Each structure stands twice: as C-alpha cells, then as structure tokens.
Structure 1
Amino acid sequence: MMTPTPILEAPLFTPSLLQTNRFAARPLTNAQLRLGLDTIAANWQESGLALSALPPLLDLTHRYRAFAASPDWREIARAHPIAQQLLKDPLTQAMFHRPTADAPEAELLDLALAHPSTRHRVAQATPLGLKVRLFTHELETAVALRERRRIMAHAIDDTISKTPKAAILMLGCGHFRALELSMRAGEAGRILAIDPRDACLEVVRSQNASITPIETLCEAPGRMIARPLRFGRFDLILVPGLLDGMEDPAAGRMIAALASALRPSGQILVAAMARGIRCDGYLDAFMDWQPVLRGEEDMQALMQHAQGSDIASRVVFHGSNGAMLYGTARRRG
C-alpha cells in the first residue's frame, strides 16, 4: 500500500487545549463575546497591528462555536468592527462573499494554496489586508490544504511508479493543482478529472496541456454513486474535498461505489477536515464556512463502506498538523 510521506509545514499557531475536550464550559453570552472582541481589537491596535495579538481570536471563536448560549453569536462577531478589518484579507473576503455557501470554489482554494494564479488578487489588497493574509495563510486548515496537495501529488507519482500505464481518477478535481506538482503524470495511461464546473476543467486543460493522458468530464461527482463503473476501473481514485460537504450517509455510499471501481491493487485516497481544529470558529464566523468536520472514528466508519473480500486494507491517518484526516482503502492484487 502506498504510504504518503507528508512534507512538514509547521503552522504558526499550535492547536488549542480546548480541542482536548477536558474542560467543561458554561454557555457563553453575547455580552462576553463583545467584550472579548473589544479586548482583542484594542490589543491589536496597541501593538501596531502585530499578528501576535490575533491568536486569541481563534481561541475566542473556537469556544463560542462550541459553547455559545445563543445561536446568533456569528452575527454578533460579524457586526463587530474587527470583522471589517479581517475582511480586508483576500481569502477571508473571498470566502465570506462567495456566491454560494457550498464548499469553497476552486479559485478560493487557490488563495489558500498561495497558487501563483492568485498573485494579482493578492496584489490588490491593502497593507492591512496583506498583514491579515499572513495570519490566515498560517491557519491550520490552510497549512493542511497545502499539504493535501502535496500528498495527492505523491500518491499520483507513487501509483505510476508501481503500475505501468496506471489509470487515475480525481473526483471533484477543481483546478487539480496536485497534478501540477506531479513529476510522472505524463507516464500514466489515463488520468480522468471530473468536476461539475466546466470553467474549472478549462483551467485543468490549459494548465496541463502537455500531459497527453488527461481527460476531463463535466459532471456532478455524486453520479458516481449510481453508476461507479461507467468510466472504467482505476488504479488510484483521489477524492480531495468532497467529504467536507457531504454528511455521512452520502459519503459512505460514495466510498462504497468508488471501491467497486478499483482495479486489482488499486487504492482510494480521500481527505476530510478534522474535528477539533482551533480555527473552526474563525471559519464559521468570518468566512461563513461550515465544513463537515470528522474525527478519526468517523473516518474509520466511512472507510468500512469499502466492502468486499477483495479489500486488502483500510487505513486512516492524520496530516502532519492534525487538521486533515485521510482514509485509504486498497484492493488485493
């Protein structure tokens, strides 16, 4: 079985003790939230907008996401003057004002990845926005997304090195930035990229024109559940972000369907945001993003949907900073 070798990228901020769930808390009031935000904003101004004043914002919003007495705590946070300063960050602004509340669009993911295609957008930010970007660039989720790209690129190269003319499927590919990091993609027999947005697939085609095995298909990934074999079988199936927008029943059906589309020795690699991340309240309040967060036991339960006597192994592991979970299932050779 391919074992990804994570490339460590340490986050600026370490996980909170609140993640351990060892401490009970009384319901927190909106008045306490306003006071906390006032204090953080004042400290930030007094420090000359130094980033060292902002980590308490992660702890405050993390606590409110877990223990708020009122469900309108998000609106209270968004109405506070500090929110307008945070929205000067290109990523926070783009996430909060995205057209729909679904999983982030590929262009927004590119901002988290610090992809070169976003340089013009970042260059338009104000000096304050650039300073806040240093803060959001090092959020544990952003660090984990960049590592996810490298892990999936490694999976592509590892599969191709072991399987001549390998067939690879990327489901919900977005801009398929992992392919740009691959060193051996041109040696694959077939690479199928599926996404429901043709604009994303056009980027995939233009950015990877030299990779002749690549095919693109504009289709909702969920259709794979009903007809998993309609596109053939694969040596590697990658699912980078679909689980963040799927509840467990649908996610389980998806994994079961994809497992049936594996070739002998083929492998699924799926990723999901982990429960307990310190920045979950920031994502919720200031980016209006509420991905489905999962624990290790949740991912293990999902991978059990890869059924059959020919399933050789199922493995669940965390990324290097704990903010991303990965699940693999491999068919016997």
Structure 2
Amino acid sequence: MPLEFSEIAGAAEDLNARREQRRKDKEPKTFEESRLELLLILEWARLRFADQEEPANAIVHGLVMRLNEFRNACDPAIWRELLPEAQRHSLGDYLLQDPFTRRSFDKPRGYSGDGVLLDLLYRHPSIEPRVAESSLLGQDIYAYTSISSSAVAVRERRDLLGEWVDETAARVRTPEILAIAGGHLRESEKSVALAEGRVGRWLSVDQDPANLAVVAEDYAGKAVETLAGSVKGLVAGTHDIGQFDFAYSAGVYDYLPDEAAVLLTRQILARLKPGGSFVFGNFSTEVIPDGYMETFMNWQLMMRTEAQMRALAEASVKGQDAQAEVFFGRNRHIVYARITRKS
C-alpha cells in the first residue's frame, strides 16, 4: 500500500535515527535501512505524480538523480535484491505510461534494446504514432526520458557512426561496412556517402528478424544488405561475411563479459582489410540514469570504465599488427574503442 505523507515523515525520521546510530557504532548500512531509503525515494516521486502540481519532467529528473545516488552508495548485492521490489512499486503505474520506459520493461521481443526502442531514443519520425497513442502523462515523461543524458549519448553515437562511415568513404573508394547487431541501421541515414552512392556494401548482421525486415524495406535500392546472424555465430566464424574497411558494434558489448568480448573483437579484426578499423561502444560507469534503467526499465547493462575498456582492447590486439585507442563520447556516458589493422 502507498504511504501517506505522515507515514513518510515518520519513516524518514526513523531512517535518520538508524543512520546516526550506525555511524556511532561504525557499522555498514543494513538491508532494511537500504530498503527503507529506496522506499522513501519511490514514495517521494509517487506523491508528486499523485498531487499533479509539478511537471512530469521535474519529477522524473529528481527520481533519476536520487536513484543514481542511491545505487552508487548501495552495496551491489543489496541493490540487486531490491530491484524486484522497486519494479513492483505503484510508482510504475505512472512511469510505464511512457512508451520508452514501457518498451524496455515489457521486452516484447525478449530484450530491451530492439530497433523500436532505439527509434524511441532517436525520436525517429517512424515512432511518432506510437508516442501519440500514449497518455498525456506518458508523452510528458517521454519528453524527458528521450532527452536524458543517456539518450543524448546514444543519438551522438548514431551520428558518429555515420561520420565514421563517411570518413572511410573518403579514404577508400566504395568501402565495405559491417554493422554488428545493426538494429534499424538509423546511422545510415546520417551518412552522406551512402546517400551519394559512394558506399560499396553496408552489411547489417542481426539476429532479430523484425529489425532486418525494417532495414530491408527502409533502405531498399541502396548498398545495404542484411544477414540473419548472431554474435555467437560471428565468434564461431560460421558466417561467411567477407572483408571490411570499417566495422562497428554500437551496443553489443553492453551485454558481453570480457572473455566473449575479446573473442568477438579478434574475429572482427580478422575480417578487416589492411588499414581497416573496428569501433565498438560500451555504456560507461558514469551513466547517470543507471538506477532508473535497472528499476523501471528492467534494463541491466554491463557498464565499463575507461580502464576496463582499454584492457579489453589491448587483450584483443595482443599478437596482432594493430593499434588500439580508447575515448569517451561528449558527455562520457559511452566509452569507445577503435582498433585499426595496420597490415
């Protein structure tokens, strides 16, 4: 049952008393203390939605910041244990009216980051009817979540991929491009080289047939090809995909442990032509909406630090004639590795 304001005030006083006693005793935060603290955060937001006196963007922003701070301070094991309780909280009745949050939480294709969800992040014209079908509150929440810091980073990633394809086309005549788990391949819409017919082949490998169908329809008549394939198949080398001047993975590494990530990287490097490069991105540990994503979007990612990304890249090029560099996107929410094959 939702708490009334007087109950929340009493719970806050109890939490402060527990904190003070814990500090005196020099003891770590208990599960119950963490649980109460999270409950207060969720009730803070729920009451504000119920009062209808504040704009939705202000409420969601406050919730995102509080969840981020709480997650960062919480014991990881306790945080994982609290996730189901947060996801059952009645605050979700408000937040899940947002088509972006709802799409991730429901996972209609079995995973969060499908092509439709990315189109929602991109604010792509194709999803305008879906947004219009949402409640007014859902549209207001989407107006915030779709311009959050993580959404900005994803849109920048799309634009960068288009730029890197164009840079490749300036270096190589009719280059061959590989997209791993390409989704709806919206970065291709940002490529001047593709629009001008200066790309030889742009292959999108994806295991989701719905993603491939959109790519085949939207980019018919261009140099875009599709292949039904998985990361497992790429690692095993079972897909005969050819050689490439530029290859990239936008989001696959968010789900790969280090060993699998290195195996995939080495397989892709073997598919590069001399002078070709492979870029892969990963959400960094500096992502601010992480707590919101893991609770109300039910979206867990394997975020990496700059040092972890560098170690992954260096392990991938060991014994190869290749050079690796690691860098952040503008707001540091995505960290990239670029590996260039020298010969």
Aligning the two structures, in what range does the TM-score lie when normalised by the shorter sequence? 0.7 to 0.9
* 2:62 pairs with one of 56, 72, 82: 56
Tell me which amino acid in the other structure corresponds to 1:188: V
Larger Rg: 2
Partner of 1:272: 282
CA distance in 1, matches of 2:318, 2:270: 8
Shift of 1:62: 2.0
Q: 1:93 to 1:50 in 2, by over 3 A?
A: closer
Instruction: Structure 2: give runs of 5+ residues left out of the alignment.
Output: 1-27
2:231 match: secondary structure: coil
CA distance in 2, matches of 1:214, 1:70: 43
Partner of 1:34: 39
1:154 match: secondary structure: helix
Shift of 1:65: 3.0
> Any conservation in 1 of the 2:286–2:332 contact (CA below 8 Å)?
no
The count of corresponding residues between Structure 1 and Structure 2 is: 308
CA distance in 1, matches of 2:341, 2:151: 32
* 2:321 pairs with one of 299, 302, 310: 310
Q: 1:309 to 1:35 in 2, by over 3 A?
A: closer
Q: What TM-score, normalized to structure 1?
A: 0.86
Shift of 1:63: 3.6
Partner of 1:236: 246
> Any conservation in 1 of the 2:327–2:335 contact (CA below 8 Å)?
yes
Shift of 1:228: 7.7
* 2:113 pairs with one of 88, 96, 104: 104
Tell me which amino acid in the other structure corresponds to 1:72: E
Q: Deviations over 1:4-60 (max 9, x none)?
A: xxxxxxxxxxxxxxxxxxxxx845521222222222333453633342233231233
Tell me which amino acid in the other structure corresponds to 2:304: R
CA distance in 1, matches of 2:97, 2:291: 18
Partner of 1:122: 131
Higher mean C-alpha deviation, range 86-95 or range 222-231: 222-231
CA distance in 2, matches of 1:48, 1:249: 47
Partner of 2:153: 144
Shift of 1:281: 0.7
2:317 match: secondary structure: coil
Shift of 1:190: 1.9
Matched, 1:293 2:299: no
Partner of 1:10: none
1:252 match: secondary structure: helix
CA distance in 2, matches of 1:226, 1:63: 41
Partner of 2:270: 260
Tell me which amino acid in the other structure corresponds to 1:145: V
CA distance in 1, matches of 2:338, 2:39: 43
Higher RCO (Cα < 8 Å, 6 or more apart): 1
CA distance in 2, matches of 1:71, 1:228: 36
CA distance in 2, matches of 1:184, 1:149: 15
> Any conservation in 1 of the 2:60–2:141 contact (CA below 8 Å)?
no
Query: Identity, % of aligned pairs?
Result: 29
> Any conservation in 2 of the 1:228–1:261 contact (CA below 8 Å)?
no
CA distance in 2, matches of 1:61, 1:146: 23
Q: Deviations over 1:235-287 (max 9, x none)?
A: 10111111111111101111111111111110001111111311111000000
1:275 match: secondary structure: coil
Instruction: Structure 1: give runs of 5+ residues left out of the alignment.
Output: 1-24
Q: 1:130 to 1:103 in 2, by over 3 A?
A: closer
Shift of 1:100: 5.8
User: Counterparts of 1:1-333 in structure 2 under 5 Å?
Assistant: 26-27=29-30, 28-44=33-49, 45=51, 47-66=53-72, 67=74, 69=78, 71-99=80-108, 102-185=111-194, 186-211=197-222, 213-227=223-237, 230-304=240-314, 305-311=316-322, 313-332=323-342
Q: What TM-score, normalized to structure 2?
A: 0.84
RMSD, aligned CA: 2.1
Tell me which amino acid in the other structure corresponds to 2:152: V
